[in-house]
Amino acid sequence: MDWQGYFEMMADWKKLPAYKAEPRIDSLVGYYLPDFMSDFLGIKVAGIIPELPLRLGTVNDAYEKTNMADRSYKVDFFIVTDNGMNYLVEFKTDSGSLRPGQDKYLEAAKSKEMKLIIEGIVTISAASNYKTKYGHLLEKLQALGLLNADREYSGTNSGIEIIYVQPSNPNKNRNIIDFIWIADWLESKYAGSEFEAEFSKALKLWSSD
C-alpha cells in the first residue's frame, strides 16, 4: 500500500470543514498509545480500553435523579499502569476542538476517584440493553484488576490523572503528549519502517493545527 499517498490524502481531507479526522486515526493512536505512554510516563502500561463511559449521574450530581443519570460521557481512552494508576486520555487532532465541557467532565471524574467511576459503569451495564458489549467491558475491567467476580470494585489505586494527546503543547504542560513528541518516538522505535515514517511525517504536519 502507498502509505505516503494515504497520509497525504488524510492531510488534504483534514482541511475540509466537515471532515472529522479523529474517528479515522484514533485506532492508530490507540494501537501505539500503550507503548508511547509507557515511555512518556516511565512506567509500563498494563492495559487500555477505548471509549470508557463516565456515568453522568456519577460525575454530575445534578443528573442523579433524572432520566439522564445512566447515560454517559465517553473518554477516548482509559489506561491503567502497572502500579495501578488510572489515566483518562483525550485525543484531539485539532487543538481548537478542545471544549471546556470536556475538561469539566474529566475533572469531575478525577475528583470522584476510580471506585465511583467503576461503580457507575456497573450501574450503566445493569440498565443498558447492550448486555453483550457491556459484559465485554466488565470483563476487561476485571482483567485489569478493577472488578472482582462479584462486580465489586477491587482496584489498588483509586487515583485518576488526565492526559491529553493533541497537536501541540505551547505551555509545556506535563500532562500533554504532543504530536512532535509522538512523531520523534515513532522514528526512534521504528527506524526504517515506511508506515511509521509516513505516520510520523503526518503528525509533524498536523502539529501546527
| Whether 144 contacts 48, CB under 8 Å | no
Q: Is 50 helix (H, G, I), strand (E, B) or coil?
A: strand
| Whether 49 contacts 86, CB under 8 Å | no
The reported pLDDT for the residue numbered 94 is: 78
- Domain for residue 12, yes or no? no
193: amino acid identity, one letter:
S
For the chain, which ranges sit under pLDDT 70?
A: 95-102
- Domain for residue 122, yes or no? yes
Question: What CA dihedral angle connects 51, 57, 62 and 65, to 10 degrees?
Answer: 140
Half-sphere exposure of 172 (CA within 13 A, CB side): 0
pTM of the full predicted structure? 0.92
- Domain for residue 10, yes or no? no
C-alpha cell at 175: 500532562
The reported pLDDT for the residue numbered 144 is: 96
DSSP state of 147: B
The reported pLDDT for the residue numbered 103 is: 80
Half-sphere exposure of 122 (CA within 13 A, CB side): 18
- Domain for residue 199, yes or no? yes
For residue 142, give its domain range: 21-206
| Whether 169 contacts 176, CB under 8 Å | yes
- Domain for residue 4, yes or no? no
Q: How far from chain centre, in Å, is Cα 123?
A: 21
| Whether 48 contacts 34, CB under 8 Å | yes
| Whether 176 contacts 164, CB under 8 Å | yes
Say which residues have a Cβ less than 8 Å from residue 48's Cβ, sequence separation at least 6: 30, 33, 34, 77, 78, 79, 80
| Whether 148 contacts 142, CB under 8 Å | yes
When divided into structural domains, the chain yields a total of 1
Half-sphere exposure of 9 (CA within 13 A, CB side): 7
- Strand 86-91 and strand 160-166: the pairing is parallel
- Domain for residue 7, yes or no? no
- Domain for residue 11, yes or no? no
- Domain for residue 188, yes or no? yes
DSSP state of 114: H
